[in-house]
Amino acid sequence: MVSTESVTSYLLEVILSHPLMTCALLLFTTAAICWYIRDSYVVSGFSQKYVFITGCDSGFGNLLARQLDQKGFHVIAACLTEKGAAELAAASSLTLKTLLVNVTDSESIRRAVEFVSREVGERGLWGLVNNAGRSIPIGPPEWMQMEDFTKVLDVNLLGVIDVTLQFLPLLKKAPGRVVNVASVLGRLSLTGGGYCLSKWGVEAFSDSLRRDMHQFGIKVSIIEPGFFKTSVTQLDLIEPDLRRLWARLPKDVKDSYGETYFDDYLKAQEFSMNMLCSPDLSKVTNCMEHALTARFPRTRYGAGWDAKLFWIPLSYLPSFVLDFFIDVLLPLPTGTRKI
Residues known to be catalytic: 195
Residue from 67, 106, 60, 98 nearest 80 by CA: 98
Strands (DSSP E) found in the chain: 50-53, 74-79, 97-100, 127-130, 177-181, 219-225, 300-303
For residue 183, the Cα-to-chain-centroid distance in whole angstroms is 4
Would you say how long the chain is, in residues? Answer: 339
Amino acid at 62: N
Secondary structure of residue 173 in the 3-state scheme: helix
What distance in Å separates the CA atoms of residue 229 and residue 145, rounded to the nearest whole number? 27
Residues 160, 205: contact at Cβ < 8 Å?
yes
How are the residues of the chain apportioned to helix, strand and coil, as percentages rounded to the nearest 5? 60, 10, 25
Torsions phi, psi of 103, nearest 5?
-70, -10
| 304 contact partners, CB below 8 Å, separation of at least 6 | 225, 226, 227, 228, 278, 283, 284
DSSP strand pairing (219-225 vs 300-303):
parallel
